[in-house]
Structure 1
Amino acid sequence: MEWLTIAAAVVILGTAVLLRWRRPAWYWLTFGALVAVVRLLARYGSVMEACGLTVPPSRLRLLLARATRSEVPGSRVPRIRRLKVTRTGLVLRIKLQPGQDAFDFAASSDRLRHSFGMQGVSSREVKAGVVELRMTGYDVLKRVHMPAKTEESTLRVPVALREDGSVHYRDYRQVPHALNIGATQSGKSVYQRRLVSALAPQRVALVGIDCKNGVELYPLARRFSALADNPDDALGLLESLIDRMEAIYDVIRREQRISADVPDGEITSDIWGLPEHLRPVPVVLLVDEVAELALAAKADEKRRDAIVTALVRLAQLGRAAGIYVEVCGQRFGADLGKGITLLRSQLTGRTAHRVNDEASANMAFGDIAPDAVLAAVQIQTERPGTAVAADSTGGWALTRTPFTTLRQAVNTCNKHADLTPEIPELAAYRPALETAPELVTAA
């Protein structure tokens, strides 16, 4: 029996070591979570006191202690409201004591991470007096595995995993237009493939501009309603989108019917308030390399100005008409020419993969989240797909997109090719699929 006990212990220990090395998520769910919970509960009071997250006893308790000549009560520790184990770590909800501030927990996140032996700790205020600490038990961005179940909806798709283990969504209804920058081999194209693959099963029209001779987007052509691979076609495509936008505004204006007997819920200023039979299909415009549109020789400056102006108009007015703009590039600043900074101001969402210099990160985050600039510069070369995602609220998060091969994206687009809508205004730019049959044949 003694030898059997020793053998069983060796097997369990070896399994734990192997899982921690090869399958950290499995190790966390089988061994790590239990150890982390015991360690947290055992150290909680002392850690809160060491991090300065306690408050002195109330005057009433001090008065009672003096009156009864008993021991002086110690500092009050914030109470644990809920402790939840997730597939990536722990979620701890804490009820603050009077006089405490949620900022104190955010400022102490590094000390809490070290004291509780966790990979990372982030905090947010759930409501007044309640703070949620999300703790990751392992490096979730080392090998990205998206959860099997995600909260998808129309134009809201999961594209990456955040550093705290939660899913990062691209929500076009909340953030209509976005900018995605990154150096060569930073994972920018993989992010774009993931985005297209996630949108392919939805009732959405995909429109692309890829001036690198179409090498990024044309393999996915079966799911695109329109594609342009040169600046001349890009200008015509953008002007056709503007014509579609103006026609949709006419439809919205006719259907508003603002009068005393019309219910408030039926008055709308965008496509989402229109009746189902009148609602046009939303359009997501993907611009693969904006520098190829913004940089032009002197003879082409007129065309270049027209392209930038059209992009600015779509970014300013397209949301209500169901047209959403996703701009990609290696750099995006005033050095690309006139009108670029105006276009950038309309792109609410910002995603920056690894960049080669701080100036490129400043182009993305300098005007909305200066704290994210340093994080974007520090992204490691050996972790392609890692990015800093931010928006105009000033908040940001470190994310990593799961690796998606071009073949996987092609197969997904081919599978859902029957969902590709026909848009009359863009019929002239419908991709000619018969020109490259080897790219659209499923593996």
Structure 2
Amino acid sequence: MTDLMTWAELGGALTAIGGAAYARHAYPAAYWSAVGLPLSVVRLLASYSSTMDACGLTVEPPRWWALAVRATTRREVRPVPPRRGVICPTTTGLRMRLRLVPGQEPADLTASAERLRHAWGVHAVHVRDVKPGVVELRLIGFDVLRKVRMPRRPDGGPLRIPVALREDATAFVRDYRAVPHELVLGATLSGKSMYLRNLLTGLAAQPVALVGIDCKRGVELAPFAPRLSALATDPDQAAELLPALVKEMEDRYDLIKARQGIAPGTPEELITSDVWGLPEDERPAPIVLFIDEVAELFLVATRKEEERRDEMVTQLIRLAQLGRAAGIYLEVCGQRFGAELGKGATMLRAQLTGRVCHRVNDEASAKMALGDIAPEAVFAACAIAPELPGLAVVGDTSGGWSRIRTPHLSLVDAAATCRTTAHLAPDVPALDAFRPQIPPVPVEEPPGPVATGRPVTE
């Protein structure tokens, strides 16, 4: 009987260990909440002071404090670590605020993030500057980018689309009013189309005019045609659509100038320099232009095509330089984008503030996307593995960068969203001539024979 109990206890322990190992791999969020979170909290509380000291994040206390400690306790005065706030558990990790001691800066904690990660047994440690003297440590318990689950309450709003998940488990929000134009690069099967799909369906639920230029005969953007206000599927159509957008931009500037006929008693809130300062009943709908495979607009084979290319590039540069105030935004996608495309390519890229780089085929492509704004991000972009589609490095002109991954969204679901939101497409008369033709949906006949009525006999 004793041997049986011993084997039962041993089998139960092995089952528990095996179940925990399986849960850690298959259900990392559940494993973290049940096992990882308690262990990490205990490890952090038990080793906080010693870990900070080992990482060089402690300083000598003030002289008056050292004298008071010696006078009252007669013990040795140790260096002081940053004062720790309340530990806040989350579904993906831990959050806590630290008040820096005099002489420290957030960069000191950022430099020690890797050592803190190993000391506390978590997947990653991220540092965020909250206010002068206070930083927030975000400890991530597992790889949140392996299986993307967007936050339940993402920070959305007008022209703010939660499109991906950051490596610190926060949502990456594409804010067009803060970053009006963006460049998205990525090789084939890197997830660039998935990023574009999530972004387009997010905008489809808002009163925004969506315009597409897809020179691959529309294979990428045609499924979203019910929601598009205009679509060009080859360079010839694009050469006609871009002048219409430039004319619409000029008309909007005339509308803003009319509002700027400022009378002496005009209230300050009625003085504006862009469309967002106009009254809501006069404000035109914002326009977002999606360009898939922008290189197709630059490639030429004849002299006549070269002249057409120069005109289109000039119009794109004008839209990038002046479109923000008119409520026109650009989303430029491609596999490569650099000076080798031809005249005007580098000038256009300089106007694209946001940068998203998926897996690319060479280092030069990553440098085209990120080298001029965040050189450290180039190495991270080159390290993206092929088995992680949707993983990308995003940067901006502030020099900051982070890894993101787009959640999977099937083409069928995205197309269905565009069909159900087709009524939200605003009326832009300048784009009516370019509205895509939607083929009628065939009506299926009911199965089985249809019953016929009997004639009435006299």
Same fold (TM over 0.5): yes
Deviation, 1:159, is 0.6
- Bigger drift between 60-69 and 174-183 goes to 60-69
| Contact 1:120–1:137 (8 Å) recurs in 2 | yes
Match of residue 149 from structure 2: 145
Is 1:59–2:63 an aligned residue pair? yes
| Contact 1:225–1:426 (8 Å) recurs in 2 | yes
- Bigger drift between 154-163 and 252-261 goes to 252-261
Is 1:410–2:415 an aligned residue pair? yes
List aligned pairs for 1:7-18, cutoff 5 A: 13=17, 15-18=19-22
Deviation, 1:148, is 2.1
1:231 maps to a residue whose letter is P
Is 1:317–2:322 an aligned residue pair? yes
Where does structure 2 lack aligned partners over 5 or more consecutive residues?
444-458
SS at match of 1:321: coil
Match of residue 92 from structure 1: 96
- Bigger drift between 326-335 and 14-23 goes to 14-23
Deviation string, structure 1 residues 27-62 (Cα, Å, up to 9, x no partner)? 222332222111111111111000000001222233
2:421 maps to a residue whose letter is H
Is 1:380–2:385 an aligned residue pair? yes
Distance verdict in 2 for CA 1:356–1:260, change over 3 Å: same
1:162 maps to a residue whose letter is R
Aligned counterpart in structure 2 of residue 171 of structure 1, from 171, 175, 178: 175
SS at match of 1:94: strand
Q: Normalization by structure 1: what TM-score?
A: 0.94
Match of residue 455 from structure 2: none
CA–CA distance in structure 2, aligned partners of residues 426 and 376 of structure 1: 37
CA–CA distance in structure 1, aligned partners of residues 120 and 399 of structure 2: 28
Aligned counterpart in structure 2 of residue 132 of structure 1, from 107, 120, 136: 136
CA–CA distance in structure 1, aligned partners of residues 13 and 435 of structure 2: 64
Deviation, 1:258, is 2.1
Is 1:345–2:338 an aligned residue pair? no
- Bigger drift between 26-35 and 267-276 goes to 26-35
| Contact 2:60–2:80 (8 Å) recurs in 1 | yes
CA–CA distance in structure 2, aligned partners of residues 61 and 271 of structure 1: 58
1:325 maps to a residue whose letter is L
Is 1:267–2:271 an aligned residue pair? yes
Aligned counterpart in structure 2 of residue 254 of structure 1, from 253, 258, 278: 258
CA–CA distance in structure 2, aligned partners of residues 303 and 380 of structure 1: 38
CA–CA distance in structure 2, aligned partners of residues 371 and 436 of structure 1: 50
Deviation, 1:231, is 0.5
CA–CA distance in structure 2, aligned partners of residues 6 and 83 of structure 1: 36
Distance verdict in 2 for CA 1:151–1:5, change over 3 Å: farther
CA–CA distance in structure 2, aligned partners of residues 234 and 54 of structure 1: 61
CA–CA distance in structure 2, aligned partners of residues 308 and 26 of structure 1: 51
Match of residue 441 from structure 1: none
CA–CA distance in structure 1, aligned partners of residues 203 and 17 of structure 2: 44
Deviation, 1:12, is 5.6
List aligned pairs for 1:216-295, cutoff 5 A: 216-295=220-299
1:214 maps to a residue whose letter is G
Deviation, 1:91, is 1.2
CA–CA distance in structure 1, aligned partners of residues 149 and 22 of structure 2: 18
CA–CA distance in structure 1, aligned partners of residues 442 and 369 of structure 2: 38
Aligned counterpart in structure 2 of residue 200 of structure 1, from 200, 204, 207: 204
Match of residue 33 from structure 1: 37
CA–CA distance in structure 2, aligned partners of residues 321 and 31 of structure 1: 53
Distance verdict in 2 for CA 1:67–1:134, change over 3 Å: closer
Deviation string, structure 1 residues 74-95 (Cα, Å, up to 9, x no partner)? 1111111232112211112101
Match of residue 332 from structure 2: 327
Distance verdict in 2 for CA 1:222–1:4, change over 3 Å: same
Deviation, 1:66, is 5.8
Deviation, 1:256, is 2.4
| Contact 2:155–2:171 (8 Å) recurs in 1 | no
Q: For the pair shown, which has the larger CA radius of gyration, 1 or 2?
A: 2
CA–CA distance in structure 1, aligned partners of residues 418 and 401 of structure 2: 31
Deviation, 1:138, is 0.2
CA–CA distance in structure 1, aligned partners of residues 409 and 351 of structure 2: 29
CA–CA distance in structure 2, aligned partners of residues 320 and 146 of structure 1: 31
CA–CA distance in structure 2, aligned partners of residues 25 and 67 of structure 1: 50
Deviation, 1:136, is 0.7
Deviation, 1:72, is 2.2
Deviation, 1:135, is 1.3
CA–CA distance in structure 1, aligned partners of residues 9 and 219 of structure 2: 60
Count matched residues.
438
| Contact 1:353–1:387 (8 Å) recurs in 2 | yes
Aligned counterpart in structure 1 of residue 84 of structure 2, from 75, 80, 97: 80
Deviation string, structure 1 residues 256-282 (Cα, Å, up to 9, x no partner)? 232332222221111111111111110
Quote the RMSD (CA, aligned, Å).
Answer: 2.0
CA–CA distance in structure 2, aligned partners of residues 436 and 317 of structure 1: 40
Deviation, 1:313, is 0.4
Match of residue 110 from structure 1: 114
CA–CA distance in structure 1, aligned partners of residues 65 and 272 of structure 2: 58
CA–CA distance in structure 2, aligned partners of residues 165 and 366 of structure 1: 25
SS at match of 2:85: strand
Where does structure 1 lack aligned partners over 5 or more consecutive residues?
439-443
Deviation string, structure 1 residues 85-141 (Cα, Å, up to 9, x no partner)? 122111121011111121110111111111111101111221111111111100001
Match of residue 456 from structure 2: none
| Contact 1:82–1:94 (8 Å) recurs in 2 | no
